[in-house]
Homo-oligomer: A and B are copies of this chain.
Amino acid sequence: MTISNEDKSNRENRRAPKAKISMITLGVRNLAASLAFYRDGLGFPTYNYVEGQNCIMFKLEGTWLALYPRASLADDAAVASRGSGFPGFALAHNVGSKALVDETFAVAVAAGATPVKEPQDVFWGGYSSYFADPDGFLWEVAWNPFTDLT
């Protein structure tokens, strides 16, 4: 099989994603216990946290950490929360536009990732997708119009 010049050109013109993990989201069983551990125990600074929210973000140096109920994270990634299919956490790669979500998702799938959730508008106002790496570890590729994590 040969690669046509057009295919090559498409491949070369597609930008490689920035080498960055924007956020690590841990799917937790008891949000209050995890908040107490990370905020009060380790001293990590929450970001815009309002009592009662179920997504808690910490702005760390270099990346973000989020806590989210385990079942909600599985729902968000459109996978079952029980069984071996859900690793219990997700890495996020944030980009600056919906078009870049589409493009980055396509790069990952072309590289052999398993598409898990096609890019789509999501309830919180962003645009998001999930793919799984060769071991089933989840990556969200997202555009967030409210907070720049890129």
Contacts and interface: CB of A to CB of B under 8 A. Distances in A.
Interface of A: 16-21, 24, 26-30, 33-34, 36-38, 40-45, 58-63, 65, 70, 87-89, 91, 107-108, 110-113, 133-135, 137
For the residues of A in contact with B, the DSSP-based class is loop
Nearest to A61: B20
Given A21-B63, A21-B65, A112-B37, A134 B16 contact: no
A136 to B, nearest CB: 9
A18 B61 contact: yes
A63 B92 CA distance: 13
B45 A89 contact: no
Contacts of A29: 134-135
A37 B107 contact: no
A17 to B, nearest CB: 6
A58 to B, nearest CB: 7
A45 B29 CA distance: 35
Contacts of A42: 16-17, 19, 107-108, 111
